[in-house]
Chain A
Amino acid sequence: MSRTYLPVLLLMGFVVFNAILMIGLSHLTMRSRPTPVKQSAYESGIPALGEARERFSVKFYMVAMLFIIFDIETVFLIPWGAYFRNLSCAVPLTNGLCPSGQVSMFGLVEMLVFMAILIVGLVYVWKKGALQWD
């Protein structure tokens, strides 16, 4: 690893330091005079209704599941997109360019097959009404 990531590390360190500083300072300077109103959960200014710990609908879970699946599809699309120039050439690239007449459909077709199988899933989800909230 080179030192290319030093700025990222500095940013991370700054964020952690800043968070600790803000929480620490507010703890040091606060005067604790709790009242029941102050201790209630802040819900956009209106009194909170019931508990936060309710059972949530399974619909949220299904949205999250479908999100993971199509997220993984994206994981495959990113390296494919980055490598597409090499995949669509029958011979190795010369200076990052494909010699004329050597363009192949290999890269496009393999991803189309992959996408086609997943689109069957998308159509199934759509037809089942799983994307409908009711």
Chain B
Amino acid sequence: MGLFYTFHFYLFGVIAIISAVAFVTRRSPVAAALWLVNTMFCLAALYVMMDAQFIGAIQVLVYAGAIMVVFLFVVMLLNLGHASDVTDIVGGKTKLAAGLVGLLLLAEVFVLWKDDGAPAPVPAQQELEPGVIDQVAAPLFREYLLAFEITSVLLLAAIVGAVVLAKRRVT
């Protein structure tokens, strides 16, 4: 681990948090989406630092790539207008609920952090070749075979749902 690791952990962590804060505070939805892309890239870097290169690559491919495209298309579809015209339509109740959820998450992080009295059992460090995805593939295609096959049914439902919603004729 060492200093090299710690430095980059804090570097990417701080950039991720700054981008996330910018994401929720920007008025322009497109600017907000681009900040979210930045957060995704930092998370991918953190995954790579945890020797989860495959997950890092997927994070960039799926989240920073595909899902952000959908967010941007939704922004274009809704046409929110100029950022200066957008007003906060969220009421006091929603703000209260959001604040409570935020506090709850913060409390959860605090409990997890406080709970760390005894040093956590360090998993046996296997000597892994960088980039090897057998550790992901072996359980996925053997133990969790049923879950893997059912995923295709979930994706099928998503395909049908997207087509039914978007191809509906407006009468």
Question: Using a CB–CB distance below 8 Å, which chain A residues touch chain B?
Answer: 1-5, 9, 53-56, 58-62, 64-69, 71-73, 75-76, 78-80, 82-83, 86-87, 107, 110, 113-115, 117-118, 120-122, 124-125, 128-130
A65 with B166: in contact, given A1-B50, A121-B155 (CB under 8 Å)? yes
Interface presence of B62 (CB below 8 A): yes
Contact B167 A61 (CB under 8 A): no
20 pairs, CB–CB < 8 Å, chain A vs chain B: A9-B8, A53-B79, A53-B81, A53-B82, A55-B76, A60-B76, A62-B163, A64-B69, A66-B162, A71-B61, A75-B61, A75-B62, A78-B133, A79-B140, A86-B137, A117-B153, A117-B155, A124-B160, A124-B163, A128-B163
Secondary structure dominating the interface of B: helix
Known pairs A79-B141, A114-B152, A130-B163. 4 more at Cβ < 8 A?
A55-B79, A82-B134, A87-B141, A121-B155
User: What's the Cα separation between A83 and B49 when bound, in Å?
Assistant: 23
Within 8 A of A (CB), among B4-44: 4-5, 8
A5 with B48: in contact, given A53-B79, A56-B76, A64-B73 (CB under 8 Å)? yes
Give every chain A residue within 8 A of B130 (Cβ-Cβ). 2, 4
Contact B69 A117 (CB under 8 A): no
- Minimum C-beta distance from B127 to chain A (A): 11
* Stretch in B92-100, B104-112, B143-151 touching the partner: B143-151
Give every chain A residue within 8 A of B103 (Cβ-Cβ). none
Chain A: which residue is nearest B128 at the CB level? A2
Within 8 A of A (CB), among B42-92: 48-51, 54, 58, 61-62, 65-67, 69-70, 73-74, 76-79, 81-82
Interface presence of B101 (CB below 8 A): no
How many CB-defined contacts (below 8 Å) exist between A and B? 133
Chain A: which residue is nearest B82 at the CB level? A53
User: What's the Cα separation between A13 and B46 when bound, in Å?
Assistant: 16
Give every chain A residue within 8 A of B133 (Cβ-Cβ). 78-79, 82-83
Contact A1 B48 (CB under 8 A): yes
Contact B162 A62 (CB under 8 A): yes
Give every chain B residue within 8 A of A2 (Cβ-Cβ). 130
